Amino acid sequence: MTDVRLNMAKVEAEAAAPPRRRPGTALSRERAAWGFVAPALIAIGVFFAIPVFAALLLSLTDFDIYALADLHNVRFVGLQNYERLFANPLFWGAMKNTGLFAVLGVPLSIAASLAAAVILNARVVKWRPLWRVMFFAPYVTTLVATAVLWNYLLHTRYGVINWAIASVGLPPVDWLGQPENSIPAILMFVVWKIFGYNMLIFLAVLQTVPDDLYEAARIDGAGAWKRFTNVTLPAIAPTLLLVSIISVAGFFQLFAEPYVMTQGGPAQSTVTVLYFMYEEGFKWWNLGSASAVAFVLFICILAVTLVQLAVAKRMGAYE
């Protein structure tokens, strides 16, 4: 009996506890919340905030090969790295190339992945899992392996692409040897490589669009294109924004593709900002000015993203 009474008391106490404890435990709840986010915050601090701050400091010094030998050889130079950077024509060339990659590549890759997603989402398509795997495979394949493969595809004399061009009677194109062709050539490769990832995101969100909306539109007499622009696009607008932000950041950080395929050439036509930074930092070992490049790039990406957000807000993509 005592056991039961004890238990009853416990139950009563527990039942009464929540209302009593609520005002007093706001603090401890907050503490618990901090506890939960602490691992993430510590990781961000150690792997993001501290390195970024260190890079900012580094960009104000002339850390170079002499400093590697002896730390006393580092000097604080203020904004000199930035000044020299802005006076360097190769840096502006790299900015221009990166801008070109982003301006052409972002819409291209989004269009490709959206088109693939819409087609795969259609009921009439058979073997859908197979197609999904095929479209997604390039994204998960090692970059260097695919780049080597594309070097063959793009080969001037023996490449499949030029063979196709020649079979319709056009002259062959020197894809990776001529400055004016190298950016389109690399763009083709990059878009092919990454569109599968965005396609998956689009596929996921397309499946959340309710069918009755399409039905209603069809009853109202909307054709396929009308249904796409008036039902699909508004429904996936927030995702479109997310994908465009990720793509812009990705294209601004283009490095491995030109590094593997062209080494920045021909005539420095595929030197991107990140490639320029790599050469400055690891070829010439001017870590100070390489950090300055990194910061300029960071600010550029931030600015473009803010503009994208503002545009999206005006268009009502998110609240």
Partner 1 sequence: MGNEATNVPQILPEFERLNPGIKVDVQALPWTAAHQKLLTAYAGDSLPDLSQVGNTWVSEMAAIGAISPLPSVAGDLLTDQFPAVLETNRIDGRPVATPWYVDTRLLFYRSDLLEQAGHGAVPQTWVGWKEAMHAVKRRAGADKFAVLLPLNEFEQLLTFGLQGEEPLLKDEDTRGNFSSASFVAALAFYKSLFDEGLAPVASAAQISNVWTEFERGWFSFYFSGPWTIGEFKNRLKPETRWMTSGVPGPTGPGASAPGGSSLVVYRSSPRQEAAWKLVRFLSDPAVQARFNVITGDLPARESAWATPSVADDPYIAAFKGQLSRAKAVPKVPEWERIVTEMQIVAERMVRGEYTPEAAGAEIDRRADRLLEKRRWMMERGRA
Q: Which stretches of the chain bind partner 1, using CB under 8 A?
A: 62, 64-66, 68-70, 72-73, 75, 174, 177, 263, 265-267, 282-285
CB of 78 vs partner 1, minimal distance in Å: 14
Distance (Å, whole) CA 290 – CA 284: 10
Residue 42 or 145: which CB sits closer to partner 1?
145
Distance (Å, whole) CA 201 – CA 238: 12
Residue 56 or 74: which CB sits closer to partner 1?
74
Residue 267 or 311: which CB sits closer to partner 1?
267
Count CB-CB contacts under 10 A for residue 116: 21
CB of 95 vs partner 1, minimal distance in Å: 18
CB of 90 vs partner 1, minimal distance in Å: 9
CB of 66 vs partner 1, minimal distance in Å: 6
Residue 140, both tokens:
């998960």
Token look-up 């080494």 returns 263
3-state class (DSSP) for residue 294: helix
Residue 63 or 252: which CB sits closer to partner 1?
63
Identify the bridge partners of residue 83 per DSSP, sorted by sequence position: none
Identify the bridge partners of residue 61 per DSSP, sorted by sequence position: 76
Distance (Å, whole) CA 242 – CA 20: 44
CB of 75 vs partner 1, minimal distance in Å: 7
Residue 70 or 212: which CB sits closer to partner 1?
70
Instruction: Identify whether 266 is preceded by a cis peptide bond (ω within 30 of 0).
Output: yes
The sign of the CA dihedral 244, 249, 250, 251 is: positive
CB of 199 vs partner 1, minimal distance in Å: 34
Q: Give the DSSP letter of residue 125.
A: -
Distance (Å, whole) CA 135 – CA 197: 9
Q: Tell me how many helices (H) and strands (E) the chain has.
A: 16, 0
Distance (Å, whole) CA 273 – CA 200: 29
Residue 68 or 233: which CB sits closer to partner 1?
68
Residue 62 or 257: which CB sits closer to partner 1?
62
Residue 1, both tokens:
């009996």
Residue 174 or 246: which CB sits closer to partner 1?
174
What is the Cβ-side half-sphere exposure of residue 172, based on CA atoms within 13 angstroms? 14
CB of 265 vs partner 1, minimal distance in Å: 6
CB of 89 vs partner 1, minimal distance in Å: 9
The sign of the CA dihedral 137, 141, 144, 145 is: negative
